[in-house]
Copies of this chain bind each other. A is one copy, B any other.
Amino acid sequence: MQRTSFENMNCPIARSLDRVGEWWSILILRDAFYGLTRFDEFQKSLNIAPNMLSRRLAGLVEEGLLEKRPYQDKPLRHEYFLTERGRDFRPVMLALLAWGNRHFAPEGEAVIVTERATGERVEPVLVDRASGRPVTDEALFETAPGPAADETTRARFTRRDAKRETLSTS
């Protein structure tokens, strides 16, 4: 972990990636959302080497995404549950899912999101909570430096705006 170089450590995206950037982490979380809790459940589902699973689970626990709960002594054994921080990762997972469905599933969708009551297929969109308008609409929304932005982050936006400027005047 802590791959984030100095230039990027102020960026929330880089920080997130620092926690879940490794290949297996997100798939383990996926299975945690599916309700898996035990070592061998994860192992069978993922077909991952046991030492790797052990390492990744420990990592996710350390980052506060999963929490270990003992369910027996002698020998001590645990189940792994999503913490609040882990559950909050859900939008990322579902966005990833939607993106994969849209672009990498020529044969059709293998996993979909549905409404429980009706079983009806549902399409997840990212919107502004207050107004309900899609935040992906670049005419309406943009990213901007926040209160804790450091110099590097600010510079990034300065460059962006300068570039926009030249585009609109040329």
A residues within 8 Å of B by Cβ? Answer: 3, 5-8, 10-19, 21, 23, 26-27, 30-31, 33-36, 41, 45-47, 64, 85, 88-105, 107-117, 119, 121-132, 135-136, 139-150, 153, 156-157, 159-160, 163-164
- Give the docked Cα–Cα distance between A16 and B99 (Å): 7
A interface SS class: mixed
Task: Say how far A89's CB is from chain B's closest CB, in angstroms.
Answer: 6
Known interface pairs A19-B104, A105-B12; A114-B148 also in contact (CB < 8 Å): no
- Residues of chain B contacted by A105 (CB below 8 angstroms): 12, 15, 148
Is the pair A91, B97 in contact by a Cβ cutoff of 8 Å? Answer: no
Is the pair A35, B164 in contact by a Cβ cutoff of 8 Å? Answer: yes
Task: Say how far A81's CB is from chain B's closest CB, in angstroms.
Answer: 12
Is the pair B113, A156 in contact by a Cβ cutoff of 8 Å? Answer: no
- Give the docked Cα–Cα distance between A98 and B47 (Å): 31
